[in-house]
A and B are shown apart, each in its own frame.
Chain A
């Protein structure tokens, strides 16, 4: 399982995550910040738990590229 977390409030809207993992991330047209699709929010942290391990590689790239380091990706 892959667990992805996004600390959304700190996003500066650079679009890197969408470039690397367009299946999981999208830029919000409302506030210009990144949205982690199908995630659940708890205290500002958006978490997505996916059974699909093939998404790991792309999301790791998104995590590495994020300039404000607000994406965490773990394989469990």
Chain B
């Protein structure tokens, strides 16, 4: 029987909550942006340069590789901060930098930092792979390639023994799950033209996600469209054909979502970890796929499709705005105290009620995203079934919580099957 080679599962980390969720749920590596020069510069919470050592420490303790994304276009006035960032990354033992601009590639190599080529470079053929192999050990291929095309490239790397500066065969990385862009490999100018807000400087306003009508200016006639979300692709999902993705010879599977919530990272990483492990021990089957799909649908998604991997002619477009998630979180209250010995967490209820039997989610920069079902609880020091606004509630937990943590209840959305 054909054994699948080990695939590295790469998780997004937009903040410490998501980083911890990625670590706890089995990521092999994480990628993150620091300061303004990354594709999520607009996000309200971005890591700062001072966070690099903590990111590196938390991950290296668990043997997880860390990748700094520095993949926007770079102007002259950015060069100094690029140098500072890269030397700080090197100093704090960040594993590699994900780069697009040749300036970043060049500066990183000059200080001996490992380079990964960003999908923003849009690599679609073996000659370009060969070119960038002079500088990079991992290459992210264009998201618009089919698996057949990906496989040809990985086979050719093997045949021609194309090696990166690290002396190993160049590794190929592809996107496995998450949002897709309406433009080729994120090279989109729509947000720039409409809002002066460049996607290529990490400031995409996501105007492709809106509803549009198309009018012929000459006649004034409106084009009849089945779906007015003409530019909003569904989210990529590969878990149902991950065996084929693995057979294409890829080494790294990237999960998109630095702008997503920590429970999203926890859930998606858990599913793909299980899927990759199942491939490795030959237990990947239809039944498991169904259960993973149900889990993936619980968190933010715009509906799923297979991307371009299986050779679709055209994209599939979302039918409704926003998420199709079958579950959502509602805020309940905040963490107050943790009693370490009996492992009990105390929370103050500030909004929604919670009851025994509810599924809750606790998030925090150190806690990550922990989900569990309440089996018993104490309300204002007495055993109870329901806690309401103003109540103090204590719940036995299998993990540690902190005073800054937030407590949520998980409830079904209109997309849940009744």
Binding site for B on A (CB under 8 A): 11-16, 27-33, 64-68
- Assembly CA distance A30 to B81 (angstroms): 6
- Assembly CA distance A15 to B72 (angstroms): 14
Given A31-B81, A32-B81; A16-B196 close (CB under 8 Å):
yes
- Assembly CA distance A22 to B195 (angstroms): 21
Of chain B, the residue at the smallest CB distance from A64 is B196
Binding site for A on B (CB under 8 A): 35-37, 41-42, 75, 77-82, 84, 195-198, 201-203, 205
Q: Which residues of the other chain, B, contact A28 by a CB distance below 8 angstroms? A: 77
- Assembly CA distance A27 to B84 (angstroms): 16
The answer to whether B201 and A13 touch across the interface, beta carbons within 8 angstroms, is: yes
- Assembly CA distance A15 to B75 (angstroms): 9
The answer to whether B196 and A32 touch across the interface, beta carbons within 8 angstroms, is: no
Of chain B, the residue at the smallest CB distance from A67 is B197
Q: Which residues of the other chain, B, contact A64 by a CB distance below 8 angstroms? A: 196
- The tally of CB-CB contacts under 8 A between chains A and B is 56
Of chain A, the residue at the smallest CB distance from B198 is A14
Q: Which residues of the other chain, B, contact A68 by a CB distance below 8 angstroms? A: 42, 197, 203
Q: Which residues of the other chain, A, contact B82 by a CB distance below 8 angstroms? A: 32
Q: Which residues of the other chain, A, contact B202 by a CB distance below 8 angstroms? A: 12
Of chain B, the residue at the smallest CB distance from A30 is B80
The answer to whether B196 and A13 touch across the interface, beta carbons within 8 angstroms, is: no
Q: Which residues of the other chain, A, contact B205 by a CB distance below 8 angstroms? A: 67
B84 CB to closest chain A CB (Å) equals 8
- Assembly CA distance A53 to B160 (angstroms): 66
The answer to whether A12 and B80 touch across the interface, beta carbons within 8 angstroms, is: no
The answer to whether A13 and B75 touch across the interface, beta carbons within 8 angstroms, is: yes
- Assembly CA distance A15 to B74 (angstroms): 11
Given A32-B36, A32-B81; A12-B196 close (CB under 8 Å):
no
Instruction: Choose one: A31, A32, A33, A67; the contact of B198 (CB below 8 Å).
Output: A67
- Assembly CA distance A31 to B35 (angstroms): 9
Q: Which residues of the other chain, B, contact A67 by a CB distance below 8 angstroms? A: 42, 195-198, 201, 203, 205
The answer to whether A12 and B41 touch across the interface, beta carbons within 8 angstroms, is: yes
Q: Which residues of the other chain, B, contact A27 by a CB distance below 8 angstroms? A: 75, 77
Q: Which residues of the other chain, A, contact B37 by a CB distance below 8 angstroms? A: 13, 32
20 additional A-B residue pairs with CB within 8 Å, beyond A12-B36, A12-B41 = A11-B36, A12-B201, A12-B202, A13-B36, A13-B75, A13-B77, A13-B78, A13-B201, A14-B198, A15-B77, A16-B196, A30-B80, A32-B37, A32-B77, A33-B36, A66-B196, A67-B197, A67-B198, A67-B201, A67-B203
- Assembly CA distance A11 to B75 (angstroms): 14
Q: Which residues of the other chain, B, contact A13 by a CB distance below 8 angstroms? A: 36-37, 75, 77-78, 81, 201
- Assembly CA distance A6 to B35 (angstroms): 17
- Assembly CA distance A27 to B78 (angstroms): 9
Q: Which residues of the other chain, A, contact B195 by a CB distance below 8 angstroms? A: 67
- Assembly CA distance A11 to B197 (angstroms): 12
- Assembly CA distance A16 to B75 (angstroms): 12
The answer to whether B197 and A32 touch across the interface, beta carbons within 8 angstroms, is: no
A47 CB to closest chain B CB (Å) equals 22
